[in-house]
Amino acid sequence: MPDTHSKPRRWTVIASGLLCGVLALVVVFTDRAAFSSPLAVVVVAAIGAVAVMLQLRLRNRGRASAIHPPVWLNILGIGFALSALFADHLRLSSETAQLMALGAIGSFAVSSAIILHAFRRDRATSKTNSN
């Protein structure tokens, strides 16, 4: 029984290590003034959303009941992030660009929370079924 749980767990640990490495690279190669930019916060939020999606993909591998992410919320977040990124070309004010960045962060956060809640709910039902 421990052999079946070690392989998926190993990939989750490897993916978590890679995520920490990417976040470390972002922090190391970014100057201090850039962290006051809303785009930097959007990048970190997008990295976190990708981490949750990777965990979802690794968790759904080989399972009969797959958990599905809220695609419309992720598309909305990507749209907000792109509009914040290209705010100058779209002639948006700085306040509107900050609101777009906040919308991207919010949609990524809500999407990740929905997925993590589904993970917990799935774990709770599997514990009650095994007893």
pLDDT tens for 71-117 read 999 999 999 999 988 888 989 898 998 899 899 989 989 998 888 88
8, pLDDT greater than 70: no
pLDDT value at residue 120:
82
Interatomic CA distance for residues 108 and 45, integer angstroms: 7
CA dist 17 → 20, 64, 115, 126 (Å): 5, 27, 20, 27
